């Protein structure tokens, strides 16, 4: 569904991704870990065609998109739902306008049809349909983030979902609610997903396929058990705070 082969990417002369290879199977979710600046968001940009690699090949849904022109991308991009880092909503628009944004802006669908899609999306997200006329400010951070996922889903009826740090800054309960959304989209809509996150414990509930990126290089690609056993120094450094917190549980009587 998504395949990177020997992908290199640089902003100007600054290399960001080096010889990146990975594969996401149809209906599969993978999690990408990596410290800030390692190139995670750049991978999502390349998958959604917002940036082009300088070398290597990128396959999406069976098509080689490496040299695809804008008209080819305009067919593929609507199948890709992107939840941006921070998941910002337009604060002067209602929840309904936020979720329907792409449909309102980029399609000729009649209002009644857009409203029906927005209502259906709210139900799918386990959010009340009464929120449709509310402003984002009146929602908790966790609900706003769910609406941001709704905006991606309503717009595209996606084959692929890309989540850039969807739970950063949220409380534990909201984090669980977002994780449930990601799993529901995977199971009900059968999407392939890439989740970029720092929340290691929660990531284990999403998939058993993990990639660790360090300085633009994939230093790990494998399952959770191998991840925890990995002797790679950058993998161990990334996991250290998590491993220490798990070790501390018995001392806390848990």
Ligand X SMILES: Nc1ncnc2c1ncn2[C@@H]1O[C@H](COP(=O)(O)OP(=O)(O)O)[C@@H](O)[C@H]1O
Q: Which residues bind ligand X (CB under 6 A)?
A: 11, 16, 34, 36-42
- Shortest distance in whole angstroms from residue 161 CB to ligand X: 17
Q: Per-residue DSSP letters for 75-102?
A: HHGGGEEEE-TT----TTS-HHHHHTHH
Nearer to Mg ion among residue 154 and residue 210 (C-beta): 210
Q: In what order do the strands lie in the sheet with 217-222?
A: 80-83, 160-164, 192-196, 29-33, 210-214, 217-222
CA count, 13 A, side-chain hemisphere, 85: 10
36 binds, among ligand X, Mg ion, none (CB under 5 to 8 A by kind): ligand X
38 binds, among Mg ion, ligand X, none (CB under 5 to 8 A by kind): ligand X
147 binds, among ligand X, Mg ion, none (CB under 5 to 8 A by kind): none
Nearer to Mg ion among residue 114 and residue 210 (C-beta): 210
- Shortest distance in whole angstroms from residue 136 CB to ligand X: 24
- Shortest distance in whole angstroms from residue 135 CB to ligand X: 29
Nearer to ligand X among residue 16 and residue 118 (C-beta): 16
Nearer to Mg ion among residue 38 and residue 117 (C-beta): 38
42 binds, among Mg ion, ligand X, none (CB under 5 to 8 A by kind): ligand X
- Shortest distance in whole angstroms from residue 40 CB to ligand X: 3
What is the dihedral sign for C-alpha 185, 187, 188, 193? positive
- Shortest distance in whole angstroms from residue 34 CB to ligand X: 5
Strands (E), the chain: 2-11, 14-24, 29-33, 55-60, 63-64, 80-83, 160-164, 192-196, 210-214, 217-222
CA count, 13 A, side-chain hemisphere, 209: 12
For Mg ion, the nearest residue by Cβ is: 41
C-beta of residue 52 within 8 angstroms of C-beta of residue 231: no
C-beta of residue 160 within 8 angstroms of C-beta of residue 193: yes
Neighbours of 51 (CB within 10 A): 17
Nearer to Mg ion among residue 39 and residue 142 (C-beta): 39
What is the C-alpha separation between 161 and 177, in angstroms, rounded? 17
Nearer to ligand X among residue 35 and residue 104 (C-beta): 35
Instruction: Please choose, from the candidates 154, 167, 26, the residue with its C-alpha nearest in 3D space to the C-alpha of residue 95.
Output: 154
37 binds, among Mg ion, ligand X, none (CB under 5 to 8 A by kind): ligand X
- Shortest distance in whole angstroms from residue 221 CB to ligand X: 16
39 binds, among Mg ion, ligand X, none (CB under 5 to 8 A by kind): ligand X
Positions that interact with Mg ion (CB under 5 A)? 41
């Amino acid at each position: 569904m998504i395949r990177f082969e020997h992908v290199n990417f640089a902003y100007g002369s600054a290399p960001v991704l080096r010889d990146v290879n990975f594969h996401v199977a149809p209906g599969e979710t993978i999690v990408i870990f990596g410290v800030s600046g390692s190139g995670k968001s750049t991978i999502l940009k390349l998958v959604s065609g917002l940036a082009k690699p300088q070398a290597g090949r990128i396959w999406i849904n069976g098509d080689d998109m490496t040299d695809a022109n804008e008209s080819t991308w305009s067919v593929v991009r609507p199948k890709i739902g992107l939840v941006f880092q921070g998941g910002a909503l337009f604060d002067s628009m209602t929840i309904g306008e936020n979720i329907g944004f792409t449909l309102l802006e980029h399609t000729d669908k009649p209002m009644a049809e857009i409203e029906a899609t927005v209502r259906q999306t709210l139900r799918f997200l386990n959010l009340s349909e009464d929120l449709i006329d509310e402003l984002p400010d009146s929602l908790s951070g966790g609900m706003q983030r769910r609406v941001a996922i709704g905006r991606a889903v309503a717009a595209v009826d996606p084959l692929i979902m890309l989540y850039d740090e969807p739970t950063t800054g949220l409380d534990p309960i909201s984090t669980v609610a977002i994780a449930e959304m990601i799993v529901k989209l995977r199971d009900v809509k059968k999407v392939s997903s890439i989740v970029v996150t720092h929340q290691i414990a929660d990531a284990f509930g999403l998939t058993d396929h993990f990639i660790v990126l360090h300085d633009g290089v994939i230093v790990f690609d494998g399952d959770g058990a191998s991840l925890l056993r990995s002797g790679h120094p950058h993998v161990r450094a990334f996991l250290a705070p998590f491993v220490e917190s798990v070790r501390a549980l018995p001392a806390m009587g848990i």
